[in-house]
Amino acid sequence: MPLKIDASEEPTLNLTPMIDVVFLLIIFFMVGARFTQEAEEQQFDVELPTAAPVETLGRQPDPLVITVTASGITSVAGRLYSTTELQQLLARAREAYADQAVIIRGDAAGSYQAVMDVMSLCHAAKIRRFSLAFQPQDGSQAGEP
């Protein structure tokens, strides 16, 4: 005997797509949530141990290269410096590292006085390790004494 289905029956609601969307939203918010350990780290009041400040391993800093052009203009790392600015830079470098080295690159056609002025600024800043850059006569490499 065949079963008769009434046309007046309500259609059933399929919940599978809605459950899929809810799960996708849950996954989206879980992935987007920020999980940190700050709450766990701050949960207990812990007094951290103290230690002496760490000093560097004794590696010397790179020498400060001062370029003096033929017209007497001084620059360091491509930036032009006046005499007072250069004096302040040398003083800060000396304070940061007591044994700071300076290389003075003076133009061969330039004024000797401009190079001497830079050497005087080094002496005033108490920088004892300064040298003049030169190029060997064979022209193979640039060097410092």
Each residue's pLDDT tens digit, 60-111: 777 888 888 888 888 888 888 888 888 888 888 888 888 888 888 888 787 7
Predicted local confidence at residue 19, as pLDDT: 94
Residue 20: per-residue pLDDT: 95
pLDDT of residue 143: 52
Q: How far apart are CA 26 and CA 21, in angstroms?
A: 9
Give me the percent of the chain exceeding a pLDDT of 90.
8
**Lowest mean pLDDT across 26-35, 57-66, 68-77, 113-122:** 57-66
Instruction: Report the mean per-residue pLDDT for the chain.
Output: 78
Residue labelled with tokens 């001497």 = 116
Helices (H) and strands (E) in the chain, counts: 4, 5
- pLDDT grade for 2, boundaries at 50, 70 and 90: low
Q: Is 70 helix (H, G, I), strand (E, B) or coil?
A: coil
